[in-house]
Each structure stands twice: as C-alpha cells, then as structure tokens.
C-alpha cells in the first residue's frame, strides 16, 4: 500500500469564492506577465540603444587613443628634425615601434567596436593611410641606416608629418560622426519607447477592467449555487457520522454479547467437562475424549474472545488507547501475517474513548491494507500522544497502489471520515523507504466536543 499523493480529510465543501478569486488573480497575473513581457521588449530596445551608445563610445575611446598615438608621433618627428640635438634617426626606432604596436591595437579595437554599416569607407581609408605612414617610416629609417641622414630627415618633414596630419584629420571626422550617430540613435530609440509604452499601458488598463468586471460577476452568480452544495456536503457528513457512530454502537453490543453470553456459556461448558473428566477413570478412553472436548471448548472460547475484541476492544475503554494499540499490534502478525515494528512516544495523555475508537479503527484499516495491497509483510507503527495532539503513522516499504484507486477506495474513504469525525486529518504519502505512510493527526483539545457530537 503505497502512493505518492496526499489524501486529506475533507472537512466540508468550501465556497468556491476563494478559488474564483484565485483564478481572477491568475488571469490578472497573466495580463501582468504579458505587460511585463512587453516591458521587457521595451527594455530590450533600451538595452539595444545603450549597446549602440556604448559601442560608439568605445569606438570614440579607441579613436582618442589613436589620436594620442598620432600626437606622440608628431612630437617624435619634431624631435627628429630638431637642429640643436642631432641624434641619429635610428634612436627613434624603438619609440616608433612601441607607438606602432599601440596604434595597431587601437585600430583593431576600434574596428571591433564600430557598428556595422557606419562609415566603412572612412575606416578603410584610415587603415590604408596608417599603413602608408608606416611604409614611409620604414623607408626613412632604411635611408638612415644606409647613411643618408639628411635625405631621411627631409622625408620626415615632407612625407611623414603630412601623412600624420592627414590621419589626425580622418580620426577627428570619425569622432564627430560617432557623437552625431549616438545622439541620433538616442532620440529615435526614446521616441519608439515612449510610443510603445503608452500603448501598453492603455491595453493593460482596458484588459484589467474587463477581467475585474467579469470575475466579480462570476463570483456573484456562483456563490448561491455553491452555498447549496455546501449545505448538501454538510448533510452528507452528518449522515457519515451517524453511520459510523451507529456501526460502532452495534459492534460494541455484539462484542458484549459474545463476551458475556457465549463466553460465559463456553466457560461453563469447559468447567463441567473438567468435573466430568475427573470422575472418569484415569486411563479410560472417555476421560481422554472429555479432555479433547474441553480443549475444543477452550479454543472456541479463545476465538469468541478474540472476535469480541476485534469487534470492539474492551481494553480500549478499560485501559485506554495506548494499551489497546499495544495489544493489537502484538496480535497483528498472528491475525494478518504482518510483522509490526511498534514505537510509542509522548506523554501518553488520556485519550477519550470516542476519539480512541476512531484512531484504533484507522490503525486496523491501515494494517489491513498493508496485508492486502502492499506486497510486503513488514510495517512500522508510530504512535505519539501528547496533551495537545495525537499522531499515528503506519508505514510500509511495499509496492504501493495507484493514486486514483487509493483516492476512491472504500477503506481510505472510511478512514478519512473517521479522521474528520474527531476533527483530525489523514494523509497518505510516500514513505522514507519508498512505500507508503498513512499519517493520522488529531488535536486532542477537541475531545470534549467530539464526545458530545458522538
């Protein structure tokens, strides 16, 4: 007997108003989610605009880096042409190489940050101009290495400085264009965002108004219907209480009759057989037969007493629920073939007999289900009784039953009714060992009220 679903005792058929309100909340949530999605799209547009702006700014930063490298080249070329300090041109080779590496890296990053389609001709022209500048610089340093310092310096003044100025002009134009594109993209994106946002808010307001009006109308029209259903449910529960109470009363009377009438009769028969057997000769066949008849009578008496206890355990009224459960679990293996690992904890507070009999019946039904459905012959029972409440756990490690079958089974239905009768709750869930755990929880503060209802 095992299922992963939870089966709770239905107290009474509740009004559908909370459910309808929950449905209304779900619908409103759906519309809100749609609005959130729309807002997300708008936010995506904003992110796109931000990304474009960031890329333009990154490109501008790299262009400023290029411009700084060009300024360093300009200063270096000025020093190369200084007439007061005539250092050989080869002294600037390492500085040019360092600036060249930094300039190439800046141009690469600028190309990666640039938005596709934005002035590709100018970027290509810039890359070509830079390459021509370095080709000219290489030729000049080659002339200097060949000993033609004067001609090399003349080429610096005539060629390199002009090329550096042209490159600086291109970079300046790209910076201006980046700033203009950034401002234009920001204006267009903001205009689109404002328009879509206004439309979304109008749609949301209209939809929410329609949903609220429809939901309130539905709640008002269904409240009366479900009020009648709730009354029918309460009547059914009253009938179930009456039937359970009547059944227990009948079983109590039958158990008393079996114990008092048949028990006393069989006891008397056994006593008379014992007296007759004493009068017969010790080795006579009659004495052996009388002894055998006495054993049969004793067996019948034990069966009658066992049946009486099964119908209604008198020990429950005499010694209480804890003692009744102790006695029952000790006899389960003999009666049902199920070995029970039983533990009791708590303060062992006194449990009213009207509550105790319902707990006892739930235990009987749960162990019976273990024997019939679980496919295992072992179960564990845990009983915890305190001043405020009672908890009964019956767990097995069997194969379980179908959840739908369990919810429709007569045994579980009866257990739920008994749990509801004492103001408790019943849950059927997957146990720690993979089987099923039946948990009955009863608040003991309601004992007096239960006794009055029963």
pLDDT at 258: 59
Same domain, 204 and 57: yes
User: What CATH number is given to the structural domain containing 331?
Assistant: 3.30.565.10
Considering only CA atoms, which of 402, 381, 385 is closest in space to residue 393? 381
Domain count, the chain: 2
User: What CATH number is given to the structural domain containing 156?
Assistant: 1.20.120.1730
Q: What are phi and psi of 424, to 5 degrees?
A: -105, -165
Rounded CA separation 141/91 (Å): 10
Identify the H or E element spanning 344: strand 339-346
pLDDT at 249: 65
Is 220 part of any domain? no
Query: How many other CB atoms are there within 10 angstroms of residue 268's CB atom?
Result: 11
Q: Could you say which of 182, 213, 244 is where a domain stops?
A: 213
pLDDT at 192: 76
Is 63 part of any domain? yes
What stretches in the chain show pLDDT beneath 70?
1-17, 19-20, 23, 49, 83, 85-86, 115-120, 237, 240-241, 244, 247-249, 251-270, 273-284, 287-288, 290-291, 295, 297-298, 301-314, 348-349, 400-410, 433, 446-454
In eight-state DSSP terms, residue 375 is S
Is 151 part of any domain? yes
Is 209 part of any domain? yes
pLDDT in tens, 308-318: 666 666 677 77
In eight-state DSSP terms, residue 12 is S
Is 145 part of any domain? yes
Is 129 part of any domain? yes
pLDDT at 119: 58
Same domain, 323 and 188: no
Q: Could you say which of 213, 247, 268 is where a domain stops?
A: 213
Rounded CA separation 131/216 (Å): 75
Q: Could you say which of 153, 184, 213 is where a domain stops?
A: 213
The pTM of the full predicted model, rounded to 2 decimals, is 0.45
Rounded CA separation 268/258 (Å): 14
pLDDT in tens, 115-163: 654 556 777 888 888 888 889 888 888 888 888 888 888 888 888 888 8
Q: Are 417 and 440 in contact (CB under 8 A)?
A: no
Same domain, 329 and 209: no
pLDDT at 85: 64
Helix axes 410-421, 353-369, angle to 10 degrees: 160
pLDDT at 314: 67
Q: Are 46 and 188 in contact (CB under 8 A)?
A: no
pLDDT at 98: 92
Is 175 part of any domain? yes
Rounded CA separation 38/360 (Å): 59
pLDDT at 65: 84
pLDDT at 1: 44
Joined tokens for residue 453: 């209802």
pLDDT at 5: 44
Same domain, 351 and 203: no
pLDDT at 11: 44
Is 89 part of any domain? yes
The range of the structural domain enclosing residue 137 comes to 17-213
Same domain, 208 and 337: no
* Alpha-carbon dihedral sign for residues 282, 283, 286, 288: positive
Same domain, 46 and 185: yes
């Amino acid at each position: 007997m095992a299922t992963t679903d939870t089966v709770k005792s239905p107290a009474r058929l509740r009004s559908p108003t909370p459910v309808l309100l929950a449905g209304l909340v779900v619908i409103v949530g759906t519309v809100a989610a749609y609005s959130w999605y729309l807002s997300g799209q708008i936010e995506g547009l904003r992110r796109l605009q931000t990304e474009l702006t960031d890329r333009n700014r990154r490109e501008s930063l790299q262009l400023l880096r290029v411009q700084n490298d060009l300024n360093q080249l300009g200063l270096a070329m000025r020093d190369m042409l200084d007439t007061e300090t005539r250092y050989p041109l080869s002294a600037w080779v390492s500085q040019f190489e360092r600036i060249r590496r930094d300039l190439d890296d800046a141009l690469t990053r600028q190309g990666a940050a640039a938005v596709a389609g934005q002035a590709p001709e100018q970027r290509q022209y810039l890359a070509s101009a830079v390459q021509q500048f370095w080709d000219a610089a290489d030729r000049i340093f080659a002339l200097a290495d060949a000993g033609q310092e004067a001609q090399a310096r003349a080429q610096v003044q005539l060629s390199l400085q002009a090329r550096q100025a042209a490159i600086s002009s291109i970079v300046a134009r790209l910076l201006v264009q980046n700033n203009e594109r950034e401002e234009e993209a920001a204006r267009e994106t903001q205009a689109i965002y404002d328009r879509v946002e206004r439309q979304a808010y109008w749609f949301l307001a209209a939809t929410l108004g329609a949903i609220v009006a429809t939901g309130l109308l539905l709640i008002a029209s269904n409240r009366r219907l479900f009020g009648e259903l709730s009354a029918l449910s309460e009547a059914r529960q009253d009938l179930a209480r009456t039937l359970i109470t009547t059944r227990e009363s009948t079983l109590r009377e039958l158990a008393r009759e079996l114990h008092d009438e048949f028990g006393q009769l069989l006891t008397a028969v056994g006593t008379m057989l014992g007296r007759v057997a004493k009068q017969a000769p010790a080795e006579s066949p009659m004495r052996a037969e009388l002894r055998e008849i006495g054993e049969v009578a004793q067996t019948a008496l034990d069966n009658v007493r066992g049946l009486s206890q099964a119908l209604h355990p008198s020990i429950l009224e005499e010694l209480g629920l804890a003692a009744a459960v102790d006695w029952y679990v000790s006899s389960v293996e003999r009666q049902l073939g199920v070995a029970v690992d039983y533990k009791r904890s708590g303060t062992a507070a006194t449990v009213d007999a009207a509550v105790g009999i319902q707990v006892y019946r739930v235990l009987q039904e749960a162990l019976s289900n273990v024997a019939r459905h679980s496919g295992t012959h072992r179960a564990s029972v845990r009983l915890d009784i305190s001043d405020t409440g009672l908890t009964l756990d019956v767990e097995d490690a069997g194969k379980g039953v179908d959840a739908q079958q369990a919810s429709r089974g007569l045994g579980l239905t009866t257990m739920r009714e008994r749990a509801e009768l004492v103001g408790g709750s019943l849950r059927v869930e997957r146990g720690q060992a993979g089987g099923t755990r039946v948990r009955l929880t009863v608040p003991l503060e309601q004992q007096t009220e239960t006794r009055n209802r029963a």
